[in-house]
Structure 1
Amino acid sequence: MEFLSSELQSGLILFGVFGVLVTLGVPISFAIGLAATATITFLISFDQALFVVSQKMASGLDSFTLLAIPFFILAGNIMNSGGIARRLIELAKIVGGRLPGALAHVNVLANMLFGSISGSAVASAAAIGGIMSPLQRKEGYDPAFSAAVNAASCPTGMLIPPSSTLIVYSLISGGTSVATLFVAGYLPGILMGLGVMVVAGIVATKRGYPLIPLPSFKEIIFKIADAFLPLLLIFIIMGGIIGGVFTATEASAVAVVYTLLLAVGIYREVKITDLPTIILESAITSSIVLLLIGCSIGMSWAMTFSDIPYAIGEALANVSENPFIIMLVINICLLVIGTFMDMTPALLIFTPIFLPVATELGMDPVHFGIMMTYNLCIGIITPPVGSALFISCSVGKVAIQDLIKPMLPFYAAVISILMLVTFIPEISLFLPRVILGYGG
């Protein structure tokens, strides 16, 4: 390997070891940590490499910002059990019930609302899809079409705040403002949902799917009032963060207290005896995510120490000097990566690689973070690893092979909007500039 540069050798070791371990079925967190250690061992002694990688993992997790993740996970799990999804669906029926293919639009709107509160695409796909699929089947909707609508719209909650994914990006990007990222996610997330609604409306019109009967004024007022308290959480969290009342981490703790009051004290759909199970499930999920983050921080440091991002940046620069072409190549790479790797590890591993390239081209870190998050959202609804896609198949009782064809027009819609988000920075930066006075 003497004819290869040290950066290329390090890159081959890093991604080679990682790829082999994942292929062998090693859990991805351990695969990342071992690949990082093997790469550093190529440059320094094994004892030193083991010590440094462990130290970087521990110091990377010593972050006040990261405390938001377990709190938001706990708040989401409480909401899943607290009847909040059903109330948001009733509200969505009022908004989308008179559009062609009404129940499909209700599914999209409910995913946007529930996802923005829970911050989890998988939770949204399970909670909303579990309720909407039987309703749509009863009204004569094609089950594959219903599952496709649910899958395509559930990632909107990863962009519409609060989003734990954007918190992870904030950490790995070197401290990009969480509040700015949250505000920047609104328009792209809403556009993603609207794109899905346009496709769903076209298909529903061709197939003649029915509208929802218009409820009485009294019923409308009741449903709005019933969904008011869950929706109020969004205003409390975002209002508090934007107004400087509390940080994103403190907002996550507020979210837990508020959802507990709703689920246990007001709606009484969660019992005190249910809480140990909910807390245990949240702790297990949080430990998996935080171990993954710690190992990925170790890998990020290993890549930086080995000058791998610099080498990749040089390679991209050799592809073209046109920023448009380079950003298109980055998007294609991320789309491919997203089909084989879950969202969080992909974000943690490839942000340190592509962010320096993007900033060198003059791209704002907030804009890049939204673009990257949006791109990887598509990965969770594409085979073979798309977790939200498989959840939608499960709750919709549809085989995965029957879902691919109905998903194609939705893929076209969300990728088209990805291109808009990539090449029109104001889609991401307009609200931060207006609301926060962001000058990036």
Structure 2
Amino acid sequence: MTTALLLFGSMALFILIGVPIAFALGAAVWSTIVFSPDFTVTVGIIAQRIFGGLESTSIMAIPFFILAGNLMTKGGISRRLVNFANCIVGNVRGGMALALVLACAFFAALSGSAPATVIAIGSMLYPEMVRMGYPKDRTAGLLVVSGGLGPIIPPSIIMVVYATITGASIGDMFSSGMFIGILIMVVLMAVVLFLANKEKWPKTSEKLSMSDLWKSFVGAIPAILLPVIILGGIYSGLLTPTESAAVAVVWALIAGMFIYRELSIKDLVPIFLDSAKGSAMILFIIATSTAFSWIFAYSGISGELVHWIQGMHLSPMIFCIIIAVILLIFGTFLEGIATCVLMVPILWPIAASLGIDVIHFGMIVSLSNVIGTMTPPVAVNIFSAASVTKLKMGEIVKGQIPFFIGYILVFLAVVLIPAVSTFLLK
């Protein structure tokens, strides 16, 4: 009990006083080893566990996916995907809003990041939609929720992290994410159509011909090939997720520099620096969380927690509901990757002891973390949308409510019906 209080109490204290999550985890481990009477190991074990936590080829997929996403944003790929999406669904009432959802889905298959999706698509579509007469708050709210497709439609950074922690198949996680992501996209489009007709959103008067559609498709082919390369390489067995991510970087460079010709050598340095900073933040959190997870298991806290939960005789469904609520709460004040690396090592052994499928549990973790990006006070999607739209947080939150409800309904289906997560795996 003393060890558990020291471990979690010190971590909570460090987070409350504003210490970054990676340092808070490491400091909590150090405090527990130094001050707990139950430990005979030295603090040198922390460094061993931190470096050991990064000794995984799967983790290398994370910096490659981040770099590929940045190259695609700067290299003109995302803009051509937006144009193609608009040609597909732009001629109905609310068509630009449908195009926004579809563009976010396309970009999600490239970036794997919710804030990146919000900023990339919002900066291109939001000004034009406002000029056409779309309500500002509704458009910003739709952007926030549609950006949540980023970590769900593969490749997904949070799914790679989860699979690394639990040993789940990254390919299976991506397959499940693809199905659920498409389901979310369909639900959001249905809400858009309902609101567009109810609130009389604009309708594009310009008629697009088949030749226009064909031109936009041809222009988007290099961009569309990217998710085909990533997912095709993984599912065919020709490439591991890490190798597939590396190939995506190479193709993004080729497309940006030689096909679209919007990337130059001088553009690469800031792109590499931004990607390195983003990768370092995530990898450092993973590294210190490994030390945290080790001491959690070594001290016997995890075993006691498993036995305690088993003694409550909870059904798998009730456990999933409880965990979903806990993760939603954590997601409101912790970044998604941090929540994953902090909670999954604690919760997964309990879920496994109850016979819960690792992919089903993974989708609960992934979706709950995405919902956290739309929920104040952290709400990185809302802050990202605010930077693009210049609206206040309250306006964006009000505008996103109908779309947020649709997202929550899909989340509830995932929690309550395991087959939703494993549909494509059977």
Name the TM-score class by shorter chain.
over 0.9
1:309, distance to aligned residue in structure 2 (A): 3.1
1:419 and 2:412 aligned = yes
| Residue aligned with 2:41, SS | helix
Judged with a 3 Å threshold, the aligned counterparts in structure 2 of structure 1 residues 102 and 429 are, in CA distance, closer, same or farther, namely same
| Residue aligned with 1:48, SS | coil
Once the two structures are overlaid, the 10-residue window that deviates more, 97-106 or 75-84, is: 97-106
CA–CA separation in structure 1 for the residues paired with 2:89 and 2:42: 56
Q: Deviations over 1:239-298 (max 9, x none)?
A: 111111110111111001000000011111111111111111111211111111101111
1:314, distance to aligned residue in structure 2 (A): 4.5
1:430, distance to aligned residue in structure 2 (A): 2.0
Q: Deviations over 1:163-193 (max 9, x none)?
A: 12111111111x2111111112111111122
Once the two structures are overlaid, the 10-residue window that deviates more, 42-51 or 159-168, is: 42-51
CA–CA separation in structure 1 for the residues paired with 2:303 and 2:54: 25
CA–CA separation in structure 2 for the residues paired with 1:284 and 1:341: 19
CA–CA separation in structure 2 for the residues paired with 1:160 and 1:268: 27
Aligned to 2:337: 344
Judged with a 3 Å threshold, the aligned counterparts in structure 2 of structure 1 residues 124 and 331 are, in CA distance, closer, same or farther, namely same
Are the counterparts in 2 of residues 116 and 158 from structure 1 also a CA contact under 8 Å?
A: no
Q: Deviations over 1:88-134 (max 9, x none)?
A: 11111123224431111111111111011111111110010111110
Are the counterparts in 2 of residues 152 and 407 from structure 1 also a CA contact under 8 Å?
A: yes
CA–CA separation in structure 1 for the residues paired with 2:145 and 2:310: 34
Aligned to 2:49: 56
Please tell me the residue identity of whatever aligns with 1:195.
V
Once the two structures are overlaid, the 10-residue window that deviates more, 303-312 or 78-87, is: 303-312
Match 1:199 to one of 191, 210, 222? 191
Aligned to 1:211: 203
Aligned to 2:229: 236
1:42, distance to aligned residue in structure 2 (A): 4.5
Once the two structures are overlaid, the 10-residue window that deviates more, 103-112 or 316-325, is: 316-325
1:333, distance to aligned residue in structure 2 (A): 0.5
| Residue aligned with 2:332, SS | helix
1:20, distance to aligned residue in structure 2 (A): 1.5
Aligned to 1:184: 176
Are the counterparts in 1 of residues 78 and 223 from structure 2 also a CA contact under 8 Å?
A: no
CA–CA separation in structure 2 for the residues paired with 1:384 and 1:179: 33
CA–CA separation in structure 2 for the residues paired with 1:38 and 1:92: 53
Match 1:121 to one of 114, 118, 124? 114
CA–CA separation in structure 2 for the residues paired with 1:311 and 1:390: 40
TM-score normalized by the length of structure 2: 0.95
Match runs of 1:168-179 below 5 Å: 168-173=161-166, 175-179=167-171
CA–CA separation in structure 2 for the residues paired with 1:45 and 1:171: 29
Judged with a 3 Å threshold, the aligned counterparts in structure 2 of structure 1 residues 314 and 192 are, in CA distance, closer, same or farther, namely farther
Aligned to 1:92: 85
Match 2:244 to one of 218, 243, 251? 251
CA–CA separation in structure 2 for the residues paired with 1:11 and 1:387: 31
| Residue aligned with 1:92, SS | helix
1:379 and 2:372 aligned = yes
Please tell me the residue identity of whatever aligns with 2:193.
G
Judged with a 3 Å threshold, the aligned counterparts in structure 2 of structure 1 residues 41 and 191 are, in CA distance, closer, same or farther, namely farther
| Residue aligned with 2:407, SS | helix
Aligned length: 425
CA–CA separation in structure 1 for the residues paired with 2:255 and 2:37: 54
CA–CA separation in structure 1 for the residues paired with 2:137 and 2:404: 15
| Residue aligned with 1:62, SS | coil
Please tell me the residue identity of whatever aligns with 1:133.
Y
Match runs of 1:305-384 below 5 Å: 305-317=298-310, 321-384=314-377
Identity of aligned residues (%): 36
| Residue aligned with 2:56, SS | coil
Are the counterparts in 2 of residues 113 and 157 from structure 1 also a CA contact under 8 Å?
A: no
1:139 and 2:125 aligned = no
Judged with a 3 Å threshold, the aligned counterparts in structure 2 of structure 1 residues 66 and 150 are, in CA distance, closer, same or farther, namely same
Aligned to 1:3: none
CA–CA separation in structure 1 for the residues paired with 2:395 and 2:311: 42
CA–CA separation in structure 1 for the residues paired with 2:302 and 2:382: 31
Unpaired stretches in structure 2, ≥5 consecutive residues: none
| Residue aligned with 1:199, SS | helix
| Residue aligned with 1:75, SS | helix
Are the counterparts in 2 of residues 108 and 193 from structure 1 also a CA contact under 8 Å?
A: yes
1:319, distance to aligned residue in structure 2 (A): 5.6
Please tell me the residue identity of whatever aligns with 2:200.
G
Match 2:393 to one of 384, 389, 400? 400
1:261 and 2:254 aligned = yes
Unpaired stretches in structure 1, ≥5 consecutive residues: 1-5, 434-440
TM-score normalized by the length of structure 1: 0.92
| Residue aligned with 1:340, SS | coil
Once the two structures are overlaid, the 10-residue window that deviates more, 272-281 or 329-338, is: 272-281
Q: Deviations over 1:39-87 (max 9, x none)?
A: 3334468883421122111111111111111111111111110111111
